[in-house]
């Protein structure tokens, strides 16, 4: 088996699918790329058995065949070679691989391509089409809120709800929640499934900048994403997602509107002086003034800042983990955000004041119990 390909073209395709491979000690072949050559097209696959990615590119060849090539050594070699045509020569009996470049020859050992796990095919699938820009935005707005707690597997992915009215993406770790909804993108049928974090990270990095349509096929066990020459298939998380709607407070009479960047930078400064375990900050709203304070009694550290805001409601004093607020504000867009609250022991909602037409973004953060001693003195 022999073919000629450009180093830069090949490297770009390998980088697109490399994240799906696995450093498995149980199945070492998962640390390889599968190269399948047929009719002048090279198809490259990588998998960890849960998530698989394939891509294809035209090459110069008159032969067919398949070989598993060690991913690390191949990518490290290509990264250091200048852009040039290189020739791959594969011995079909020994699986020895020769790579000829302008000024060098390299040899490495491959494995039988027949031993590479078969990339699964989705059967009895339903489908929906999403613009790449919307899918990318949905991932960006929710992925940060996914839980890392393996004891709650349902929360380790993003919950996707499809309906004729809208498409909704939700992530939560029980401390914070992000919901991204599009009313301008719909599905003919009603469905819901949980997409694993790894697959979404891979999608996020490989989705094209240009706004192409992404085909999403799904059944009870898997989801299949297709765009350009990239295919990604992943096993869905087979768990029941918690009833997230039940924890979103509907009646929030206290509404604070504030400059997002100003609020974010203030929190970044104040949290430096907070307890390193709880990251607790105290928000006290009086009239149109927001006081943000923190303290670390172990080191006698404290910080206090005052910001102007628009506020409707009764005066309130409430505690939050500043790290969660910072994450949310970093993942929101627009100049101003509304912070809606009801009582100090109920969740607060962060909602951007400006957004795309057809888009709804909501982020929820649970409060923390404030210390019972007297708060810091104001300026």
Whether residues 24 and 61 share a domain: the answer is yes
Q: Among 115, 139, 164, which residue terminates a domain? A: 115
Domain membership flag for residue 377: no
Q: What is the DSSP string of 37-93?
A: EETTEEEEEEE-SSEEEEEEEE-B-S--EEEEEEHHHHHHHHHHSPS-EEEEEE-TT
Whether residues 163 and 181 share a domain: the answer is yes
Give 90-114 pLDDT, tens digit per residue: 999 999 999 999 989 999 999 999 9
Q: Among 212, 245, 278, which residue terminates a domain? A: 245
Domain membership flag for residue 372: no
Domain membership flag for residue 102: yes
The answer on pLDDT for 378 being more than 50 is no
Q: What is the pLDDT of residue 371?
A: 67
Q: Residue 205: which CATH number?
A: 3.10.150.10
Whether residues 308 and 238 share a domain: the answer is no
Domain membership flag for residue 374: no
Torsion on CA atoms 331, 336, 337, 340, rounded to nearest 10: 170
Give the pLDDT band (50/70/90) at residue 356: confident
The string over 327-360, giving b where at least 16 C-beta atoms fall within 10 Å of a residue's C-beta and e elsewhere, is bbbebbeeebbebbbbeeeebbbbbbeeeeeebe
Whole-prediction pTM value?
0.91
How many domains does the chain divide into?
3
Whether residues 256 and 350 share a domain: the answer is yes
CA 283/CA 281 separation, integer angstroms: 7
Give 205-239 pLDDT, tens digit per residue: 999 888 899 999 999 999 999 999 999 999 999 99
Query: What is the domain range of residue 99?
Result: 2-115
Whether residues 141 and 33 share a domain: the answer is no
Whether residues 137 and 87 share a domain: the answer is no
Domain membership flag for residue 37: yes
Whether residues 111 and 134 share a domain: the answer is no
Instruction: Note whether 354 and 329 are within 8 A (CB).
Output: no
Q: Among 66, 90, 115, which residue terminates a domain? A: 115
Whether residues 217 and 306 share a domain: the answer is no
Whether residues 302 and 339 share a domain: the answer is yes
């Amino acid at each position: 088996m022999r073919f000629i390909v450009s180093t830069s073209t090949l490297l770009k395709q390998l980088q697109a699918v490399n994240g799906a491979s696995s450093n498995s000690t149980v199945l070492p072949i998962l640390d390889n790329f599968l190269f399948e050559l047929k009719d002048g097209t090279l198809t490259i696959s990588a998998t960890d058995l849960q998530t698989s990615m394939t891509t294809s590119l035209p090459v110069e060849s008159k032969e067919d065949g398949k070989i598993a090539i060690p991913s690390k050594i191949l990518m490290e070699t290509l990264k250091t070679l200048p852009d040039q045509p290189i020739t791959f020569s594969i011995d079909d009996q020994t699986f020895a691989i020769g790579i000829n470049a302008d000024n060098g020859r390299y040899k490495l050992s491959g494995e039988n391509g027949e031993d590479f796990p078969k990339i699964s095919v989705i059967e009895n699938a339903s489908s929906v089409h999403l613009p790449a820009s919307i899918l990318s935005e949905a991932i960006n707005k929710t992925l940060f809120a996914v839980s890392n707690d393996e004891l709650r597997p349902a929360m380790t992915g993003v919950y996707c709800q499809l309906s004729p009215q809208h498409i909704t993406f939700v992530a939560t770790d029980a401390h914070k929640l992000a919901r991204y909804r599009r009313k301008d993108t719909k599905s003919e049928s009603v469905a819901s499934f949980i997409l694993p974090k790894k697959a979404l990270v891979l999608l996020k990095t490989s989705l094209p900048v240009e706004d192409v349509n992404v085909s999403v096929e799904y059944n009870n066990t898997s989801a299949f994403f297709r765009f350009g020459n990239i295919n990604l298939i992943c096993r869905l998380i087979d768990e029941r997602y918690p009833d997230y709607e039940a924890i979103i407070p509907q009646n929030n009479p206290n509404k604070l509107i504030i400059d997002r960047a100003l609020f974010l930078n203030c929190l970044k400064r104040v949290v430096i002086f907070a307890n390193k375990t709880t990251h607790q900050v105290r928000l006290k709203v009086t009239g149109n003034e927001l006081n943000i304070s923190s303290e670390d009694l172990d080191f006698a550290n404290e910080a206090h800042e005052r910001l102007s805001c628009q506020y409707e409601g009764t005066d309130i004093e409430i505690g939050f983990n500043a790290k969660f607020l910072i994450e949310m504000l970093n993942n929101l867009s627009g100049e101003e955000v509304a912070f809606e609250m009801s009582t100090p022991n109920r969740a607060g909602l962060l909602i951007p004041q400006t957004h795309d037409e057809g888009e709804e973004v909501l982020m929820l953060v649970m409060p923390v119990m404030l210390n019972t001693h007297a708060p810091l003195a104001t300026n």
